[in-house]
């Protein structure tokens, strides 16, 4: 498979228990996968404060468990998965997953 030379951590949020047994929103599951990231676009917004928005494409192995709304961390940068990931297939089965990401700083 193509060079998945980076590592990303996927975080899925949901309802978890805090130290007092209350339901709160938090990280429900986490997994680390080999990956490749490619930046596809970037925008600078200078209203009120300088904001940089960049769009990325994430390549993952076909077994990766990722969904729209999950958060991905790579090299300290946090990305949000936009929309459902796409499983690319060959005649012999799933080859890899592609997911669109957005990073705001």
pLDDT in tens, 56-95: 999 999 999 999 999 999 999 999 999 999 999 999 999 9
Question: What pLDDT was estimated at residue 2?
Answer: 61
3-state secondary structure of 22: coil
Q: pLDDT confidence of 45, banded at 50, 70, 90?
A: confident
Average pLDDT taken over every residue of the chain: 92
Question: What pLDDT was estimated at residue 29?
Answer: 92
How many Cα atoms sit within 13 Å of 61 on the Cβ side? 13
3-state DSSP: the chain helix, strand, coil percent, rounded to 5?
0, 70, 30
Model pTM score: 0.85
Domains delineated in the chain: 6-104 (2.40.10.370)
């Amino acid at each position: 498979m193509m060079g998945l030379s980076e590592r990303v951590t996927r975080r899925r949020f949901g309802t978890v228990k805090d130290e007092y047994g209350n339901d709160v929103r938090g990280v429900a599951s986490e997994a680390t996968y080999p990956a490749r990231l490619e930046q596809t676009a970037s925008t600078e917004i200078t209203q009120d404060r300088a904001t940089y928005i960049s769009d990325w494409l994430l390549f993952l192995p076909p077994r990766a468990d990722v969904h729209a709304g999950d958060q991905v961390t790579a090299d300290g940068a946090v990305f949000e998965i936009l929309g459902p990931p796409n499983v690319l297939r060959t005649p012999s089965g799933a080859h890899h997953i592609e997911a669109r990401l957005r990073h705001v700083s």
